[in-house]
Structure formats: structure tokens, C-alpha cells
Homo-oligomer: A and B are copies of this chain.
């Protein structure tokens, strides 16, 4: 890299610490930024600083927000009787994009994973159970991922709420919409057959 000036080498290094950005891509991005108009580069740098300064977690659901409680929790139009439990903000964003849910969320900040040393105390389970003790929660949708950790987390939550009157549901697994059956993995296919329903 010593054929580039110091400032470029430094930016390439910084960029290549980002996930999915290797040396080659970092080099391409750095050269793009170098040739981009000054105001674009300045605004990229400013946006990074602003992000770290203004974004925090919602006091209620732990979604990313720039306020005390997030847009969703403070929206009177959302159904406060249904809480959708997800592992992280990106999962919540995916559900919001679908437009299929109008209740509130609870972001755990991860999933149980004994192998990685992540136990019940390391994700926001206590906060979730505290929320379920409120009077108005009717349903808890467990939308943790469909891998081992996500399933274990859903099972754990289910096991801790045996005495509650709250309805506890799990998001459906099966063939993705528009999915070609020949590319579906055996486990998903198994689940899709097992959960088949009458039409």
C-alpha cells in the first residue's frame, strides 16, 4: 500500500474494518471518496459523527431511536396489546418493511447461545418479562430467528411464561413466497410439510 499517500492508506485501513469490506473494496471506496465532491465526503463524515451522537435505545422496547421513547412506542395508532419479540433492530426493520404488524416490539439484543457464553442475563429477557406483567398485553409474538439460538430463545421464553394468560405465538416457518421448491433446504421443507394447513 506504500504507493498511496498516508491519508489514503489510513482511510483504506479504516474502511476495511467494516463488515464485508475487504482491502480491494476499501481501496475502491477510498478512491471514490477522494474523487467525490468535497461536500459529499464532508457529509459522509458528518453523518458518521451524528449517528454516534444522536442514536440511543428506546427506554421501552430498546429499538434504535433519537428520542426517549421510539416512534413506534409513542405512536397512539399502534396496538399496545401485542408485542413482537425480535433479536435485533435489523430484524425489526424487516418486519416493519413488510407492513404486516401494527403492535409494539421488544428487541432482545441477541439470542441465547450457551456456546458463546450468552445466557438469559445477557439479553433483555428480564425487561421483556417485566413488560408482560402489564395488564394490557394480550399476545406475545416470538419472532426470534429460525436457527438453533433463535429457537432456543423462543423455547426459553415460552417455558418462563407457562402461568401467564397471554397468548404466545411463534412466527410461521415454511417455503418463502415465490420460492422455487427445488432450491428449498430440507429443514425448511420438513417444517413446511409439518405445518401444512387445510385450505
Q: Does A188 contact B (CB under 8 A)?
A: no
Q: Does A161 contact B (CB under 8 A)?
A: no
Contact of A4 among B14, B41, B93 (CB under 8 A): B93
Q: Does A100 contact B (CB under 8 A)?
A: no
Contact of A28 among B5, B19, B49 (CB under 8 A): B19
- Determine how close the nearest CB of chain B comes to the CB of A64; give it in whole angstroms: 6
Chain A interface residue count, CB cutoff 8 Å, equals 57
| Inter-chain contact A5/B72, CB cutoff 8 Å | no
Q: Does A168 contact B (CB under 8 A)?
A: no
Contacting residues, chain B, for A51 (C-beta < 8 A): 7-8, 10-11, 30, 33-34, 41
- Determine how close the nearest CB of chain B comes to the CB of A93; give it in whole angstroms: 5
- Determine how close the nearest CB of chain B comes to the CB of A12; give it in whole angstroms: 9
Q: Does A59 contact B (CB under 8 A)?
A: no
Q: Does A15 contact B (CB under 8 A)?
A: yes
Contacting residues, chain B, for A17 (C-beta < 8 A): 36, 40
Of residues A18, A34, A40, which shows the largest number of chain B Cβ atoms within 10 Å of its Cβ?
A18
Mark each residue of chain A from 21 to 51: 1 if its CB lies under 8 Å from any CB of chain B, else 0: 1000101111111101010111111111111
Mark each residue of chain A from 155 to 176: 1 if its CB lies under 8 Å from any CB of chain B, else 0: 0000000000000000000000
Q: Does A71 contact B (CB under 8 A)?
A: yes
Contact of A7 among B7, B14, B30, B54 (CB under 8 A): B54
Q: Does A136 contact B (CB under 8 A)?
A: no
Taken together as a complex, chains A and B put the C-alpha atoms of A14 and B15 apart, in Å, by 14
Q: Does A65 contact B (CB under 8 A)?
A: yes
Q: Does A89 contact B (CB under 8 A)?
A: yes
- Determine how close the nearest CB of chain B comes to the CB of A143; give it in whole angstroms: 14
